[in-house]
Amino acid sequence: MYRTKRCRILSMNNPQLPLGLALRDSARFASFFPGPNAEAVRCLQAAATGAGESLVYLSGATGLGKSHLLQAACHEAARHESAAAYLPLDALKSLSPDLFEGMEAMPLICVDDVDAIAGLPDWETGLFHLFNRMQHSGGRLLLAGTGRADAIGIVLPDLVSRLCWGVTYVLKPIDEQSVQVALQHRATSRGLELPEETVAFLLKRIPRDLPSVFELLDRLDAASMVEQRRLTIPFVKTVLDQS
């Protein structure tokens, strides 16, 4: 089912309803710099292949890589020819929670932005029932929210309890020194040659949070392909000046 890098979900009215939600092709385990989160990455890799923990909850502030890791798990499942679904609830909450119906048939479900449905009774109930069905079907459920499961405003006590059943990882930010390593790691995974002097120049000119760094790397990659230029300091400066 999930072999076209499209996210498909199951709906009560349409068993294969494509919502136009695409996984980022770059969101792979190989392109994620684990830093202090190596144990969480290993756990998700195992779950994506049908081993290890059956319920994992990722907690952490925006920009630490929660969505990247959940999408990477879907990519990894697909690589092993197993079906997977990625459900970003912040983007889906305008729909009906009926979309959870039948999803327990999938070996792996990754639910992002759990805090987005906090205080929405129908959605909380729907996710609670999905937990129960997944437990009976033997599937694996990976979830992520901006805070710990018992501190994101979920009102339904039974859902809070379910969210706390499995293993919880609180993602930690990497230190400033590791940002340079992470940037080089991401560039290498994309086949980019990023000289050390260019990295040093970049880190003096841009915010040092990873989302900003990686967003800029995406822009530089696209610009270098169009211009057929290496990522030298003069070329990078030109790209930065255009923003």
Q: Quick one: CA dihedral 67, 73, 77, 78, positive or negative?
A: positive
The whole-number pLDDT of residue 154 equals: 97
Lowest mean pLDDT among 118-132, 164-178, 205-219, 224-238: 205-219
128 — pLDDT class (breaks 50, 70, 90): very high
Q: What is the spatial distance between Cα 53 and Cα 141, in angstroms, rounded to a whole number?
A: 9
Give the residue, 192 or 42, on which the prediction is more confident. Answer: 42
CATH 3.40.50.300 in the chain is located at 6-170
Give the residue, 20 or 36, on which the prediction is more confident. Answer: 36
pLDDT value at 50 more than 60 = yes
Give the residue, 13 or 225, on which the prediction is more confident. Answer: 225
Give mean pLDDT, residues 60-70.
91
Is the domain spanning 6-170 CATH 3.30.9.90? The answer is no
pTM comes to 0.79
Give mean pLDDT, residues 158-183.
88
Q: Please say whether the beta carbons of 23 and 75 come within 8 A.
A: yes
Q: What is the spatial distance between Cα 170 and Cα 120, in angstroms, rounded to a whole number?
A: 24
Q: Residue count of the chain, please give it.
A: 243
The whole-number pLDDT of residue 18 equals: 41
CATH 1.10.8.60 in the chain is located at 176-241
Which class is 176-241 in CATH?
A: mainly alpha
Q: What is the spatial distance between Cα 229 and Cα 159, in angstroms, rounded to a whole number?
A: 52
pLDDT digit string, tens, across residues 189-212: 778 888 888 888 888 887 766 667
SS (H, E, C) 80-138: CCCCEEEEEHHHHCCCCHHHHCCHHHCCEEEEECHHHHCCCHHHHHHHHHHHHHHHHHC
The whole-number pLDDT of residue 33 equals: 84
The whole-number pLDDT of residue 225 equals: 85
Calculate the average pLDDT of the chain: 85
